[in-house]
């Protein structure tokens, strides 16, 4: 069968490499990939890809760069078969340098996205585990980047700030004395990444994620997880008992904005970056405000408040972030406000939640 294929060359903004985009015009081949890529597309490895962000990020990157160029890794078995069907998925333990190195060599990796991390609440319950995974993990990831000349993006978090940090419009550069083990591993990640950049020229990039809200993968072990859990209770017509108090204000980001921020920073030309670690702000709200927003659609939804150990963690974090450097250097701009997030979450989860 003859296929009529239009090839259009576009420049990859980061690598300056040429990607070849192809489109099939044959209606008889509906499953043909809409993007074909030449040998020069960046080959990307992602650690911890079964986490909240990895799952969405992998599919967007695969659509953009070609499935075979995005190597998803984790130490867990994917629950969705599509993860294995849609592209390479490999076992990779971030504590084991040589097995990571083997993947980088055998799959000719160019960019590493190091997402593996123990989050704030789990970190407080298991500090030793958080130290092992988060500290050793980034050390291995940066060594990989140095030895194999990789661009590396490793996310930080608002948890890198602490109780003595200015709370409103927290700047990129300010007091960083976190009170959680997760937070201090994120400060370590930021400073070590900057050290590798200055000392070895490693192309390290990082962004400080606020709480992330997503209709796909569930978050696990974070302090901001309530902002996802609440939707499942509302849609199951169950009252929600919130583990933070009603007026606890935290910065949050909706998943499509999170993915866009990550890819925009990943693709930005190195010369455009005036710093290596960036705040990204979305929208700040309290549990009471998200409850009210959900109540506009689910009017009989009920909430009560029973703060637990996570309240102290939340109280140590900023209320909002100054992300002017991200806006200036790589054009960052969030698109979702609270009511838009709520509407989208309810529309998407209605189809999933029984």
Binds ligand AKB by CB under 6 A, chosen from 223, 258, 281, 284: 223
240 vs 231: CA distance, rounded Å: 9
| Catalytic choice (65, 97, 182, 305) | 182
> Of 118 and 338, which CB lies nearer to ligand AKB in the complex structure?
118
**For ligand AKB, which stretch binds (CB under 6 A), given 168-176, 216-224, 228-236, 281-289?**
216-224
Q: Scan residues 50-69 and list those touching ligand AKB (CB under 6 A).
A: none
Residue number with the smallest Cβ distance to ligand AKB? 222
Q: Report yes or no: 207 and 262 within 8 Å, Cβ to Cβ.
A: yes
Give the total residue count for the chain.
354
Among 47, 215, 224, 258, binds ligand AKB (CB under 6 A): 224
Closest separation in Å from C-beta 250 to ligand AKB = 8
* Least CB distance to ligand AKB at residue 146 (A): 26
How far apart CA 186 and CA 192 sit, in angstroms, is 10
The residue (of 182 and 332) whose beta carbon lies closer to ligand AKB is 182
CB-wise, 59 or 180, nearer to ligand AKB?
180
Q: Kindly tell me which residue out of 211, 282, 318, 334 binds ligand AKB, with binding defined by CB under 6 A.
A: 211
- Burial state string for 8-38 with b = 16 or more CB within 10 A and e = fewer than 16: eeeebebbeeebbebebeeeeeeeeeebbbe
DSSP string spanning 105-146?
HHTT--EEEE-----HHHHHH-HHHHIIIIIIHHHHHHHHHH
Binding segment toward ligand AKB, per CB under 6 A, in 101-109, 220-228, 274-282, 295-303: 220-228
Give how far Cα 222 sits from Cα of 101, 110, 210, 340, 349, Å. 29, 30, 11, 23, 20
Q: Does 254 qualify as catalytic in the annotation?
A: no
Does 209 participate in binding ligand AKB (rule CB under 6 A)?
yes
Query: How many chain residues touch ligand AKB (CB under 6 A)?
Result: 12
Q: Pick out residues in 151-190 that bind ligand AKB (CB under 6 A).
A: 157-159, 182
Q: Which helix (H) or strand (E) holds 287?
A: helix 287-295
Residue placing its CB nearer to ligand AKB in the complex, 67 or 120:
120
* DSSP string covering 150-212: -EEE--EEGGGS-TTS-SSSB-SSS----SSHHHHHHHHHHHHHHHHHHHH---EEEEEE-EE
Please, are residues 212 and 255 in contact by the beta-carbon 8 Å criterion? yes
Give 16's contacts (C-beta < 8 A, 6+ positions apart). none
Contact code string over 102-121 relative to ligand AKB, x by CB under 6 A: -----------------xx-
User: Judged by CB under 6 A, does residue 44 bind ligand AKB?
Assistant: no
The C-alpha angle 286, 289, 294, rounded to 5 degrees, equals: 130
Q: Which is nearer to ligand AKB, 5 or 218 (CB)?
A: 218
Give the residue, chosen from 51, 88, 162, 222, that forms a contact with ligand AKB under the rule CB under 6 A: 222
Q: Mind telling me the catalytic residues?
A: 182
Binding residues (CB under 6 A) for ligand AKB: these are 119-120, 157-159, 182, 209, 211-212, 222-224
């Amino acid at each position: 069968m003859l296929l009529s294929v239009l090839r259009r060359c576009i420049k990859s903004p980061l690598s300056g490499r040429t990607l070849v985009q192809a489109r099939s015009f044959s209606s008889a081949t509906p499953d043909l990939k809409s993007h074909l890529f030449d040998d020069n597309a960046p080959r990307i490895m992602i650690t911890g890809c079964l986490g909240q962000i990895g799952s969405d990020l992998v599919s967007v990157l695969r659509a953009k760069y070609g499935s075979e160029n995005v190597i998803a890794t984790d130490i867990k078995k994917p629950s969705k078969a599509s993860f294995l069907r849609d592209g390479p998925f490999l076992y990779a333990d971030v504590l084991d340098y040589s097995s990571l190195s083997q993947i980088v060599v055998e799959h000719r990796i160019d960019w590493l996205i190091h997402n593996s991390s123990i989050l704030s609440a789990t970190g407080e319950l298991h500090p030793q585990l958080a130290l092992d995974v988060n500290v050793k993990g980034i050390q291995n990831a940066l060594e990989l980047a140095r030895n194999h000349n990789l661009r590396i993006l490793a996310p930080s978090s608002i948890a890198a700030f602490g109780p003595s940090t200015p709370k409103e419009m927290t700047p990129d550069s300010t007091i960083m004395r976190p009170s959680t083990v997760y937070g201090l591993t994120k400060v370590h990640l930021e400073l070590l990444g900057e050290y590798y950049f200055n000392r070895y020229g490693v192309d390290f990039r990082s962004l400080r994620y606020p709480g992330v809200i997503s209709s796909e993968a569930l978050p696990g072990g974070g302090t901001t997880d309530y902002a996802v859990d609440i939707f499942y209770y509302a849609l199951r017509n169950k009252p929600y008992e919130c583990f933070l108090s009603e007026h606890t204000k935290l910065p949050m980001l909706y998943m499509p904005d999170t993915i866009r921020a990550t890819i925009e920073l990943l693709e930005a030309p190195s010369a455009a970056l005036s710093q290596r670690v960036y705040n990204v702000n979305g929208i700040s709200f309290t549990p009471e405000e998200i409850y009210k927003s959900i109540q506009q659609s689910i009017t009989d939804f009920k909430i009560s408040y029973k703060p637990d150990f996570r309240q102290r963690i939340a109280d140590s974090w900023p209320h909002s972030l100054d992300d002017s450097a991200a806006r200036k250097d790589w054009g960052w701009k969030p698109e979702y406000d609270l009511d838009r997030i709520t509407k989208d979450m309810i529309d998407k989860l209605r189809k999933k939640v029984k």
